[in-house]
Amino acid sequence: MNVQLPSVRHPHSFYDVFGVVATAVAIMALVLTVRHGSVVRIEMVAFMAIVFLWAGWAIERILAESEEQSKRRRQRPPWDQ
């Protein structure tokens, strides 16, 4: 069984997005458990904002790639399928 780590630069599936977001939430929970303070909380809010912006970008990229593949499939002649 071939298991790959989630890709941050080139996400190819929603599992990549889920893996990165789940890891970020776990890191945030760990940091907030260990450290308490207003500065740390502000940093964690900024970190999560960046993660969710990345997730939006990654989902948009995955959907665009899927649309391109769909268009390429439709352009093939029936005998090449």
Q: What is the pLDDT of residue 62?
A: 92
pLDDT in tens, 12-58: 888 889 999 999 999 999 988 888 788 888 998 999 999 999 999 99
Measured between alpha carbons, how far is 48 from 14 in angstroms, rounded to an integer?
18
Q: What is the residue extent of each domain of the chain?
A: 36-68
Q: What is the pLDDT of residue 13?
A: 86
SS3 79: helix
* Six-digit token string for 45: 């809010």
